Amino acid sequence: MPLDVDVLIDAGWVIPVEPRDVLPKHSIAISGGTIQAVLPTAETHARFSAKQHLRLDNHALIPGLVNLHTHAAMTLMRGLADDLPLMDWLNHHIWPAEADHVSPQFVYDGTELACAEMLRGGITCFNDMYFFPEAAAKAALTAGMRAAIGIIVIEFPSNYAGDPEDYLNKGLATRDELRSQPLLSFCMAPHAPYTVSDKTFGKLLTYAQQLDLPIHIHLQETQHEIEQSLEQYKMRPLERLHKLGLLGPNFIAVHAVHLTSQEIALLSSEACNVAHCPSSNLKLASGFAPVASLLDHGINVGLGSDGAASNNRLDLFEEMRLAAILAKAVSSRADTLPAQQALQMATLNGARALGLDSKIGSLAPGKAADITAVDFSGLELSPCFDPVSHLVYTAGREQVSHVWVNGKLLLDNRKLTTLSEKEAAAKARYWQEKIGVA
């Protein structure tokens, strides 16, 4: 007699990421938000009876994409200040706008808008760093998304907190309030070496070790950052963080564009993680991250979009394609970062960096049913000789048709089920007028 499950999804292909197989004409059985089986479709139909049965014969099912670095609320600043170098962009445009407008409502509305965009692009989990993290967390929960919420720490005062101790206390209080939420996890999120003191790093390291939290930080994004560190501390930022004891398996270095061979070896020896954000690095003219060398050293590299203010889109399909193509060009090796590895960077590697790889990042029995369906029926995806290659080099977020998080359908045939696109657009218009952009 067939076993009852909540959902049965038939697909043209299931691509579990781990193992590195392509499974044609397979199905996924889901119950209680968990994957129960991944089996050939005929066998699945014989073994299971489902309350809801979807037939997506022209689709590939992949793990939900994991955005390893973003500032979700900054979606409300999309296009506010473009074509500028990083420090000019920050000092003269972004930070002044934040001082004038950032509030719990701004963060909630901006994060909700970001969640809508990310879900429509197949992203099921994001790692966030921004002010008022409790507002970001509540927006993610409203959307039904999985989120790693950053406990942001920075030396200078903001609308959110007055000093580093205040940032830490408020962020830890948010964690205490929301830690029982199954879709949320937390990270220590010091902004960058140039905005955080040694004393503050020491405090947040203690909390990170006691609570077993990842440390998520911008690192060596620009050459200017390194020059500034040499002048102030007589050492490069990574060396400083190493001396302070921050490096280790829970460390996520965001950008990591300007690295020496010795620094790459250090990141490898300490089993650190890197969040690679190719679009942001290109747009801000930060440089080309040495991804081939990072991978050659066995470093876990995930993909991030960065914020929509510096990208200007939250699109991991674009990041996969750019990461693969740039790595080939920079290394002068066409076999660098093949499609399967790029897909793993956008899924399992991001989950691993966040300590969530036992739950998400691949499609396997016992894992959470965080799943993205990509429609391969369009002419622009025809013919298809290799669906993994197509996912990285051909498909875009516009081909995402369905998204599940923890077994709940959040995008149904390209329509959001938990968020109103009309309301999100209206909120975006409100903030545009308030910030003063025509």
Q: Phi-psi bin for 186: left (phi > 0), alpha (psi -120 to 50), beta?
A: beta
Task: Please give the average per-residue pLDDT across 362-369, as a whole number.
Answer: 98
Distance, in Å, from the CA atom of 72 to the CA atom of 118, rounded to the nearest integer, reads 10
Radius of gyration in angstroms for the set of CA atoms belonging to the chain, rounded to a whole number: 21
Tokens for 290, please give them. 């040495």
- pLDDT recorded at residue 436: 81
How many Cβ atoms are within 10 Å of 182's Cβ, its own excluded? 10
Smallest Cα–Cα separation from 172: which of 195, 198, 203? 203
Q: How far is CA 218 from the centre of its chain?
A: 14
Pairing relationship of beta strands 48-63 and 371-375 according to DSSP bridges: antiparallel
Distance, in Å, from the CA atom of 415 to the CA atom of 418, rounded to the nearest integer, reads 9
Q: Per residue in 102-127, pLDDT tens?
A: 999 999 999 999 999 999 999 999 99
Distance, in Å, from the CA atom of 153 to the CA atom of 168, rounded to the nearest integer, reads 6
| Residue 374, CA atoms < 13 Å, CB-side half-sphere | 26
Cα distances (Å, whole numbers) of residue 326 to 63, 251, 301, 314:
24, 24, 14, 19
Residue with tokens 């007589």: 234
Distance, in Å, from the CA atom of 128 to the CA atom of 271, rounded to the nearest integer, reads 22
Q: Per residue in 261-316, pLDDT tens?
A: 999 999 999 999 999 999 999 999 999 999 999 999 999 999 999 999 999 999 99
The answer to whether the beta carbons of residues 181 and 144 sit under 8 Å apart is no
Smallest Cα–Cα separation from 160: which of 194, 193, 191, 130? 130
- Which pLDDT band holds residue 95 (cuts at 50, 70, 90)? confident
| 33-42, 88-97, 110-119: least confidently modelled range | 88-97
Give the 3-state secondary structure of residue 29. strand
Domain ranges of the chain: 3-63+361-406, 65-353
Smallest Cα–Cα separation from 72: which of 42, 110, 105, 125? 110
pLDDT over threshold 70, residue 221: yes
Pairing relationship of beta strands 34-40 and 23-31 according to DSSP bridges: antiparallel
Record the pTM: 0.97
Q: Do domains 3-63+361-406 and 65-353 have the same CATH topology?
A: no
- pLDDT recorded at residue 438: 40
The answer to whether the beta carbons of residues 320 and 328 sit under 8 Å apart is no
Domain 3-63+361-406 matching CATH 1.10.10.10: the answer reads: no
User: Terminus-to-terminus CA distance in the chain, angstroms?
Assistant: 63
Tokens for 266, please give them. 């250090």
Fold of 65-353: TIM Barrel (3.20.20)
- Which pLDDT band holds residue 90 (cuts at 50, 70, 90)? confident
Distance, in Å, from the CA atom of 1 to the CA atom of 4, rounded to the nearest integer, reads 9
Angle at Cα 55 formed by Cα 375 and Cα 13, nearest 5°? 55
Q: Which long-range contacts (CB under 8 A, 24 or more apart) does 24-31 make?
A: 28/61, 28/363, 28/369, 28/371, 29/5, 30/5, 30/6, 30/369, 30/404, 30/407, 31/4, 31/5, 31/6, 31/7, 31/407
